[in-house]
């Protein structure tokens, strides 16, 4: 992890001369300045992209990584004294939390915002998506996909009793999925769905999405709910152990005949008190270039948000799917209600 360097004060010693030496010309990097990032993403591939940005622009990129909520709290506490210029996180609900805490400010370059579809950016322009992932249904290939399972609603069908593995309701990805169901169908339908899924649990929720993939592959449950990029990590032939697990998993993109498969974004926003706001927006523009989008998304088995950017890597084998175009802001707006519904349904 990269952290901001602490700068020590230096004492300049005057030369014993009647004539002072001319000051050295600043380097291109010093002239270009820097951009300081607080990031909730923890991928070496992101750092490689930042290095490429520095090589092209001379702008030094400094990164602090931590959980999204911890970074938001840090930004709120630091206020105007914060060194951060750009906040990056891995869920639209977390972006909504950052905006709600007042730690972001509108992105001024409209051309940067316009590179992402409208539903992948904040209505007031305080954040923009930089990559996306789908929340899909997986199944054990050996047992086969349950007949007729092609929707999220189908996960609540009593025919799947004792078959579903999924992570805790405290997870933002699940909260965002339920928030989308609330937005589309209302609270009553969302509660009925959560009750139905809980009744179909193969085991109490535990672990992350990786744990659900391994449980489904092992036959501990027949189906699971996971983010697409986790599956991609199990489809690299260079890792024989993981690949053997990945081969046992099938993927269903739900709701292709309805609203489309639920997607979420990693996104970024300029920090309210950014000292290097112009450089932060330059970096955002760079991340949303078509070619960079392809590299950035491939690094974590995600999908680009920019139209025309190609999907590559293991997830490309899943094929094309229709995605839900619900505005990402709605995921945050219905987040609190989703948490209440999970509690009512006993989804711990």
State the DSSP H helix or E strand holding residue 337, giving kind and residue range, or none if neither: helix 335-345
Per-residue DSSP letters for 79-127? GGG----EEEES-HHHHHHHHHTT-B-----HHHHHTS-GGGB-TTSS-
Percent of all residues in the chain with a pLDDT value above 90, rounded to a whole number: 91
Under the banding of pLDDT at 50, 70 and 90, the label for residue 27 is: very low
Q: What pLDDT is recorded for position 290?
A: 97
CATH code, 133-262+322-345: 3.40.190.10
Residue spans of the domains in the chain: they are 31-132+265-310, 133-262+322-345
- How many Cα atoms within 13 Å fall on the side-chain side of residue 114? 4
* Structure-model confidence comparison of residues 112 and 17, the more confident one: 112
Q: What pLDDT is recorded for position 37?
A: 98
Q: What pLDDT is recorded for position 297?
A: 97
Judge if 31-132+265-310 and 133-262+322-345 fold alike in CATH terms. yes
Give the Å distances, CA to CA, from 264 to 42, 229, 315, 325.
17, 11, 16, 10
Residue-wise pLDDT for 222-245, tens only, equals: 999 999 999 999 999 999 999 999
Q: What pLDDT is recorded for position 12?
A: 28
The mean per-residue pLDDT over the stretch 120-142 comes to 97
The mean per-residue pLDDT over the stretch 89-94 comes to 95
Give the Å distances, CA to CA, from 327 to 15, 63, 176, 283.
63, 29, 12, 24
Under the banding of pLDDT at 50, 70 and 90, the label for residue 284 is: very high
Report how far residue 279's alpha carbon sits from residue 275's, in angstroms, rounded to the nearest whole number.
9
Number of H helices, E strands in the chain: 14, 8
Least confident of 21-25, 139-143, 301-305, 343-347: 21-25
CB atoms within 10 A of CB 21: 7
Q: Is residue 130 over pLDDT 60?
A: yes
In 214-286, beta strands by DSSP E? 223-227, 249-252, 263-270
**Topology of domain 31-132+265-310, CATH:** D-Maltodextrin-Binding Protein; domain 2 (3.40.190)
CB atoms within 10 A of CB 109: 15
Two tokens at 256?
Answer: 């292709």
Report how far residue 273's alpha carbon sits from residue 270's, in angstroms, rounded to the nearest whole number.
9
């Amino acid at each position: 992890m990269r952290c901001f360097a602490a700068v020590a004060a230096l004492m300049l010693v005057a030369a014993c001369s009647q004539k002072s030496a001319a000051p050295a010309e600043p380097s291109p990097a010093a002239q270009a300045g820097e951009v300081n990032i607080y990031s909730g993403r923890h991928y070496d591939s992101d750092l490689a992209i930042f290095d490429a940005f520095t090589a092209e622009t001379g702008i030094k990129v400094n990164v602090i990584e931590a959980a999204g909520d911890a970074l938001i709290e840090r930004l709120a506490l630091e206020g105007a004294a914060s060194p951060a210029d750009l906040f990056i996180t891995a869920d639209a609900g977390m972006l909504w939390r950052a905006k709600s805490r007042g730690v972001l400010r509108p992105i001024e370059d409209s051309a940067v915002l316009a590179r992402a579809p409208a539903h992948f950016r904040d209505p007031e322009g305080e954040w923009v998506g930089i990559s996306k992932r789908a929340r899909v249904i997986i199944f054990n290939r050996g047992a086969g996909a349950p007949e007729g399972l092609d929707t999220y609603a189908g996960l609540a069908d009593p025919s799947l009793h004792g078959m579903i593995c999924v992570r805790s309701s405290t997870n933002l990805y699940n909260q965002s999925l339920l928030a989308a169901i609330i937005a589309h169908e209302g609270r009553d339908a969302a509660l009925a769905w959560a009750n139905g899924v809980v009744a179909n649990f193969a085991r109490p929720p535990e672990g992350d999405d990786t744990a659900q993939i391994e449980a489904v592959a092992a036959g501990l449950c027949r189906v699971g709910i996971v983010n697409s990029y986790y599956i991609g990590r199990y489809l690299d032939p260079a890792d024989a152990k993981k690949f053997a697990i990945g081969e046992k998993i099938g993927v269903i993109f739900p709701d292709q005949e309805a609203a489309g498969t639920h997607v979420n974004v990693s996104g970024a926003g300029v920090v309210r008190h950014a000292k290097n706001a112009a450089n932060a927006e330059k970096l955002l523009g760079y991340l949303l270039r078509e070619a960079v989008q392809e590299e950035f998304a491939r690094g974590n088995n995600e999908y680009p948000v920019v139209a025309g950017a190609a999907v590559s890597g293991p997830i490309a084998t899943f094929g094309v799917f229709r995605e839900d175009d619900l505005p990402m802001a709605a995921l945050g707006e219905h987040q609190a209600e989703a948490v209440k519904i999970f509690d009512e349904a006993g989804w711990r």
